[in-house]
Amino acid sequence: MRLFAALLVSLLLFSIFASDVSADYPLTLDQRKRFDQYLPRCFAKLEARDPVHVIGLGDSLMGGYVPIDSSDGEKGNPLYSFSGHFLSQLAREFFYPGGVRLLNPARGLSSKLTDLYGDEITYEDLTIIDGTALDGLRRATTDAFLHEPDLVMVQFGTYDAFQRISIDVFKRSLQEIIDAAKQNKSDIVLFSPGLIHSGQGEIPWGIGRPYAVAAREVAQANGVLFIDIGKHMARKGGGVDPDNHPEAAMEIVGDRIARSFYFGPKMDEKELVHPNFDVQRFLGEVAFQELKDGPPDPLFTVAGIATYENAGLVKAVMSLRNQTNETQQGSVGALAVGGSFLPVDGFQRFSIPANATTQLVFRYARPVVGKTRDGADLLFPIEPGDDFCRLSYFIENSYESRLLDLPVRVGPVTALWKSRQFINVGDRIRIEWDLVNGTDKAISGTFQVGMADRVGEPTNFSVSPLGTKSVFSLFEFKNPAGDVAQFQQDVWIQIDVDGKKIRFTREMEATKDLVLGEQMSMQPWVSYGNASPVGDSRAQIRPPGKAAVRFDADESALYVVAGLKDFDIPDLGDKASLKARLFVDARPMNEVRNFGVVEPIEVYTRGQDGPGTTPSVPLGCFGNGYNMILDPRGITSVLTTGSDGSRLLEIRVPRSYLHRHEWELGSLDSLLGVRLELTVADSRPDAPEPFPSENRFETSSPTFAHEGAAIYGFGVNDARSLSTLRLSRQPVKSWSVQIY
């Protein structure tokens, strides 16, 4: 009897599932065309109900992180994220009764959201906490395709925005992930970052939108499906009574969207990134609907132009078109463009007849973030290597809210830095720019360049309408102090068109190339913190002591020997007192020191003399393509004390771990990229950070810093940010140079 009852319950559940599916199936002809266009490999398997394997490459939003435990779902389980619900809808549509199975779930997490048996879609979670597109590229070149996925879901941008990674680095990383997926014949769905409840300006939602728009551009260029979950989240703002002032209307819209991050009264801090479980389900369902039917019909479309004005202002003129057959009226609010463009008059009211267009004007300020080394105001830099400024706006029409994006070139001319990384620099350095015309008219003017105290004469130029003019300058490269191995200087190009001057300033860092056995002084973090334009108050706290490092190598290993003089390394018992992070780019000669991604080896020691520990060796640690699992015990380290009281940290990395490198000892052309960071622990028991940055020494720093973060520079794991080590003992006078 019990067996009969169990079978009856199973049949009832099966019939319920089948009836749900039948409501959506079969697909229409247009829907079939979309599946065949965007998921050709999966579509054939789905129709045959063959096994389908999916991987998720993204950050914690895709990975299902939520700030607190809840009865509505499981913390850190991607099945409860928008990606898991998206796949559940896919399984339901194509009648996979077993639903979605998460492979190798973390301890305590469910592998399925249903108890039903039958065909399943398998989901492999390769997301990275706080991950950027560079982290995704590392997975794409190591373990992402080991199990031959049919579908790769990609979603980055949130932490690229927080880390201020430049858009050109973000786009290039996404492009190489897509290239890897296509090479492995996997289908791809590219998701935008969600809305982030953080940022500057009176509508604090704009920090991630430039990355969302850039991701869409990459998807369109490659013909892959792009789903903008940020735009779907914006629909949660709803409409506002037309009697409200536009600023009040935008505040109401923002407050409603903010409810997406509400987890109940137990939350101590405001959540900024991860929506609650209900919103995750909503996003997964609407994303799947967009896969089937395409994006919702637009109520409005936008076009526009933007121009630099004096005093760091930028003017944007938006042409807002009503795409409906009814008069539309409501409010528009401008979002900040990261930290570079902050709306000054960001709220407008509109009324547009059916199928008509109106113009709205918005102004943005480029905030002053410090002083250049010659005393001039330094405006928050714009993107160094991308020709678009990506503006975004909330809009509501009394009934619903939407999100509009307006990518524009800023006129009259924007200077893009074509050259941002240089190796083997001698007594000259050639820096190149593209002068991009942001208008539909020919532009003529002059440009002038400068590096530290070396300033060129104004030079005439002209650019065709919406065209590009390549220019360069050959600077004398000289060490300002004569004997230092590392220094920073300002580099700039100034455009003068019809009396309007726009200066584009970056920071240059130069590091002398090292050879085996050569000692290099390490700089305290505050050397970067105190250098203009940084204003971090912690930078006034200078750690005692000095640090230096030398690298050596033989046939069996790479050796790193760091000397610490007058260092007070606290004795914290069994707790770590010293942390070292060693970055090594050990790719082959045709790849090393070029674009790529590395991960640091972390070494911890106690305050007393003795061996250190290396917790793990991440996949791809030594650059793209390092896909072997390496035993961290093979990396040995020891902390000792000399007769003069100085401390010595020695780290040994086996040659076998660097197996992709040619390892031509004695050759000046055999290169590694390297960077070492040493951080002393905070001895206070209630220290907010166990290893604070003000206690750090480093060989170089990939940062053009403001408020403790880089400004559109290289990410810390971008291989181009490292210095050069030559596997020879012959002295050299060459330098590695980065422009941040």
Tokens 């109106």, located at residue = 358
pLDDT (0 to 100) of residue 159: 94
Q: In this structure, which topology does domain 421-500 adopt according to CATH?
A: Immunoglobulin-like (2.60.40)
Torsion (CA) 625, 628, 633, 639 in degrees, nearest 10: 0
Class of domain 23-230+272-293: alpha beta
pLDDT (0 to 100) of residue 70: 79
User: How far from the centroid of its chain's Cα atoms is residue 531's Cα?
Assistant: 25
Torsion (CA) 666, 668, 673, 676 in degrees, nearest 10: 60
CATH 3.40.50.1110 residue ranges for the chain = 23-230+272-293
Sheet holding 413-417, edge to edge: 413-417, 428-437, 468-476
Q: How many angstroms separate the CA atoms of 166 and 415, rounded? A: 15
Q: What does the DSSP assignment read for 441-489?
A: S-EEEEEEEEETTEEPPPEEEEE-TT-EEEEEEEEEP--SSSS-SEEEE
Tokens 């390769």, located at residue = 126
Q: Which two tokens stand for residue 470?
A: 């390549």
Q: Which residues are bridge partners to 650 per DSSP?
A: 561, 638
Q: Max CA-CA distance within the chain? A: 96
Q: How many angstroms separate the CA atoms of 306 and 395, rounded? A: 19
pLDDT (0 to 100) of residue 257: 97
CATH 2.60.40.1190 residue ranges for the chain = 513-739
**Nearest by Cα to 133 from 182, 166, 103, 87:** 166
pLDDT (0 to 100) of residue 63: 96
Instruction: Read off the DSSP letter of residue 283.
Output: H
Q: What is the mean pLDDT of each run of 10 residues along the chain (740 residues)?
A: 44 45 70 97 97 98 90 90 97 96 93 90 96 96 96 97 90 97 98 92 91 98 98 97 95 96 86 94 98 95 94 93 96 92 93 97 88 74 86 96 96 91 93 94 95 91 95 90 81 91 88 95 71 39 75 97 90 94 97 95 96 96 94 97 92 98 97 96 88 88 59 80 96 91
**Nearest by Cα to 581 from 567, 595, 564, 560:** 560
pLDDT (0 to 100) of residue 540: 41
**CB contact set of 597 (below 8 Å; sequence gap of 6+):** 134, 135, 137, 138, 141, 173, 620, 623, 624, 717, 718, 719
Instruction: Give whole-number Cα distances, 548 to 252, 372, 525, in Å.
Output: 55, 29, 14
How does pLDDT run across 601-653, given as a tens digit for each residue? 999 999 999 999 999 999 999 999 899 999 999 999 999 998 888 999 999 99
pLDDT (0 to 100) of residue 707: 53
pLDDT (0 to 100) of residue 649: 97
Write down the architecture of domain 513-739 according to CATH. Sandwich (2.60)
Taking a C-beta distance cutoff of 8 angstroms, is the pair 390, 214 a contact?
Answer: yes
pLDDT (0 to 100) of residue 200: 80
What's the whole-model pTM score?
Answer: 0.92
pLDDT (0 to 100) of residue 461: 96
Q: Which two tokens stand for residue 565?
A: 């003089």
